[in-house]
Amino acid sequence: MRDKHRIAVVGARGHTGSELLTILNRHPDVEVVHAGSRELAGQPVPEIEGLAFENLGPIELAGLSSDAVFLALPDGVSEAFASAISAETTIVDISSDHRLDGGWVYGLPELFREKISGARRIANPGCYATVAQLAIAPFLDDIDGVPAVFGVSGYSGSGTTPSAKNDPERLRDNLMPYKLVGHNHERETTYHLDHQIRFMPHVHPAFRGLLVTAHIPVAEPTTAEAAVDKLRERYSAESLIEIRDQTPELRDGTGLTGVVLGGVDVSDDGHNIVVVGAEDNLLKGAAVQAVQNLNLALGHPELTGITQ
């Protein structure tokens, strides 16, 4: 019996970190040996019996012998940590810091699986960007114009640092638009699809769940049936993508391991396709996808630890 891969999670106290620890704890081929949280250092890790949080800064990380490290850190701070880790160690960066970095592999398995396999530096996609790309990708060769994506997410996507976007009282009976031009996920989706998109994000009062509606202009007129067929053909072998006839609602993404796409329709002139997608922003939008990437990088079956 071969040894398990040793895993460190930095930023383990956050919403994504907690989901990640839960998945890794049931993974038969890995063992979480370090969980980093400066604020909770010395306290027990709720998700893993016998493990305590540590203060894992770049200096501490440099001295570890882990096989892989997850960086579940706020945007803008992961580079110092990544630079301290040896080149032989696999890193999955869940922040946005390396998603546009050509030196890192972009970790959206359903679109870039071959590049992820065996990679040592992997940038985990953003939650909105995951669904937007999966909704638009099958139609890339048909697009004529700029797709527009309307997005709504639970406030857990805004992290644990207090702000208006994760204040339950501010969000009560409310819908909050923000960063309507130049959002990170707009740039990310545009970069990796190699096609300009426009994105309009909003926060809703529930803790988790994510929904996007993508309007996709196409050159040749089409039908809803043809558009559904194209989606089904593209994702027929993908276990974490479900194509439904019905229109997904936001609650359909909550607790979902993968992504559901549906509600496909076409404008009267046949030149605009609509696709609705739902996911859990903390699961396929973050932790589940991070473990997919780890499995591909380390040579495990892709869904190990993810599906029961």
Which residues belong to the active site? 127
Name residue 6's beta-bridge partners.
31
Contact in structure between 291 and 20 (CB atoms under 8 Å): yes
What angle do the packed helices 109-116 and 127-136 form, to 10 degrees?
100
| Cα–Cα distance, 84 to 127 (Å, whole number) | 27
Which tokens is 78 given?
Answer: 């992961």
Short-list 250, 262, 181, CA closest to 211:
250
Residue type (1 letter), 79: E
Short-list 271, 266, 261, 213, CA closest to 233:
261
| Cα–Cα distance, 138 to 156 (Å, whole number) | 29
Residue type (1 letter), 179: K
| Cα–Cα distance, 167 to 139 (Å, whole number) | 37
Which tokens is 99 given?
Answer: 């998603």
